[in-house]
Chain A
Amino acid sequence: MTGWLHHLIITPILLPLLASALMLAFDERRRVLKRWLSLIASALLIANAAALLWFTSDAGNAGTDSPHVYLLGNWAAPFGIVLVVDRLSATMLLLANVLGFTSLFYALARWDRSGPRFHALFLLLLMGVNGAFLTGDIFNLFVFFEVLLAASYGLILHGAGTERTSASLHYITINIAASLLFLIGVALIYSVTGTLNMADLATRVARTDPSDIALLEAGAAILGVAFLVKAGVWPLSFWLPRTYAAAAPPVAALFAIMTKVGVYVILRLSFLLFGEASGDVAGFANDGLLYGGLATMTFGVIGILSARQLTRVAGHYVLVSSGTLLAGLGIGGQPLIAALLFYLVSSTLAISALYLIIEPVERNADEDDMIEGIAEPVFDDEYVGAIEEEEDETGVVIPGTIAILGGGFIFCALLLAGLPPLSGFIAKFAIIDALLRAGGVGPMNWTLIGLIIVSGLATMIVMTRAGIDLLWTPGEDAPSRLSLVEVAPIALLLAVCLALMLWAGPVMAYLEATSAALHDPAGYLSAVAGAPPAGNAQP
């Protein structure tokens, strides 16, 4: 990456920032303008992320496998803040921006009208997420976390209502508390190592004075708790299903990436700071991640089985997904991490699609809760309930509404449960395969395999139950209206999952290289340390 292409690293942050700043200049009546502005911005973000993905892949890199570094303010590496894009960041960026685009598209159906400044907040959230994936500095990571959290507070409240307000009160409080923990962790790590640059930290952690190791580990543990709150690890996750259920559907669909931001940071820092080369502190907290992940999965499975609303099912599935990732991370191993990354991409897309499809499905069953967005109990009265109270709808009836919704719903269910032939199955198969291939399959590997299979079964049972109750029980009245704007983003997300299945080979190869780069951070470290300031001769 040379010349102006180099600035592609910072545009995922600048573009949404400028677009949302521009949007504030227009009042709410210029809705069409705002819609186009935000749609174009988020489409450009996808293109940008895809370009970064290309430049970090073998093909775009001409074989040299090194991350690209962007020096902010042109300060040399440990002194200034750096942005780093490597395979992992590029993958996460593309995933986040695909979710951003589809959720935004879906919101055009009507959700962006239920409160002010939806588009500006939405783009700021994307900016925070993109920044968190790109930054190579712990404190800068804190700042981007705050940007994305502040925007998410606004989005949770979008549409107002009692349920949203009181859910957001809890959400905001727990996130402020987690941010304070983040700061304490950063301060402790800084006091021990004297640096905030992640690459610089990685080299200094290995040389920590033995008397300071306890302090360093305490700092890292406190920092880790802050990210685990975001990732929704049991017992720090009780806020999550309720908050996500209360949020407007497009907001919840985008929030599917937020727990993955926590997982991403843990992945990044645990390999950089506590990888195999870190001497005394290597492998720190891996057991904690494993047990925390297993507990989260168990809690999530029980939650899925006991949930009475589909939005709660999705919320608990978010927990299962985080738990699987963290438990796998605790076990570790290069093929397993690659499989987990595949699972991360596939499950995030599927959860996002599920959040989007829930609303039309439930609207179809019960028109009453259309405006509130707060779902009625799904399993109120098995097989006969819910549909009976329906009113006569007026509106354009598109033939085959049920067929489209039902097809999408089955697709989502298969993806989430991990049944063949879709990408969810490939992901779970790869994880289980990696777990079995590891030399000396321990009891923890079996526990994780068992939980993965049980969670798939539980998802299947609940989705079948909900599908029969909401979709496949014939009702007397006509199906409700379904607009193309709502169907297209769901179709797009599912199409991405389909593409993941069809091109699983190349995707897996890219993710295996990602995993290899994570396990050998030397490339990352030398890229950051050796990044030449602009204006100097390029090596």
Chain B
Amino acid sequence: MEILLSLAIGVLTASGLWLLFRPRTFQVILGLSLLSYAVNLFIVAAGRLRSDAPPIIGKDPASADPALYADPLPQALVLTAIVISFATTALLLVVLLASRGLTGTDHVDGEDGEA
């Protein structure tokens, strides 16, 4: 599982970075989205990988051994990060459309280098 997860994070980061440095605004947005997926996975990994371990401790005192449970904090952090990156991406999309409408090109600088 560790190898799979680290590969996934690596591939997402690499593709995200490549897209981020492209000249078209839509590619930039896709790149940022991929990067945020990679970061979200990374945060989950920061809480150590566990399978079959719930993050919430039940009321039964006998089962209150922390070793049986996954760390709930990174999962809460990921939820927050997902919500925030979703909102900012939506905002960036609006700015992209406005920029496209005002400048007539989808180049990040508002003008086409080749044209």
Interface residues of chain A, those whose CB is within 8 Å of chain B, are 139, 142-143, 146, 149-150, 153, 157, 160-162, 165-166, 168-170, 172-173, 176-177, 179-180, 183-184, 186-188, 190-191, 196
B85 at the interface (CB under 8 A from A): yes
Give complex CA distance A168, B98 in Å.
11
> A184 contacts B98, CB within 8 Å?
no
Give complex CA distance A165, B25 in Å.
13
Q: Which residue of A lies closest to B107 (CB)?
A: A166
Chain B at the A interface: SS class:
helix
Interface residues of chain B, those whose CB is within 8 Å of chain A, are 20, 25, 28, 32, 35-36, 39, 42-43, 45-48, 73-74, 77, 80-81, 84-85, 87-89, 91-92, 95-96, 98-99, 102-103, 108-110
Cβ contacts under 8 Å, B74 to chain A: 187, 190
**Known contacts A173-B32, A176-B36, A191-B47, then 7 further A-B pairs from the complex at CB < 8 Å, ordered by chain A residue:** A165-B98, A176-B89, A183-B42, A183-B43, A187-B42, A187-B77, A190-B74
- Nearest CB on A from B14, distance (A): 14
- Given A173-B32, A177-B20, A191-B46: A186 in contact with B77 (beta carbons within 8 A): yes
Could you list 13 examples of A-B contacts with CB < 8 Å?
Answer: A139-B77, A146-B84, A150-B88, A153-B91, A153-B95, A157-B95, A162-B110, A166-B109, A173-B108, A177-B32, A180-B36, A183-B77, A187-B77
Q: Which residue of B lies closest to A171 (CB)?
A: B95
> B99 contacts A165, CB within 8 Å?
yes
- Nearest CB on B from A27, distance (A): 21
- Given A165-B99, A169-B25: A146 in contact with B88 (beta carbons within 8 A): yes
> B80 contacts A139, CB within 8 Å?
yes
Chain A at the B interface: SS class:
helix
- Nearest CB on A from B49, distance (A): 11
Cβ contacts under 8 Å, A157 to chain B: 95, 98
- Nearest CB on A from B83, distance (A): 9
Q: Which residue of B lies closest to A187 (CB)?
A: B46
> A190 contacts B32, CB within 8 Å?
no
> Which of B28, B46, B80 sits near A173, CB closer than 8 Å?
B28
> Which of B35, B45, B99 sits near A180, CB closer than 8 Å?
B35
> B99 contacts A150, CB within 8 Å?
no
- Nearest CB on A from B33, distance (A): 10
Cβ contacts under 8 Å, B95 to chain A: 153, 157, 165, 168-169, 172
Cβ contacts under 8 Å, A183 to chain B: 39, 42-43, 77, 81
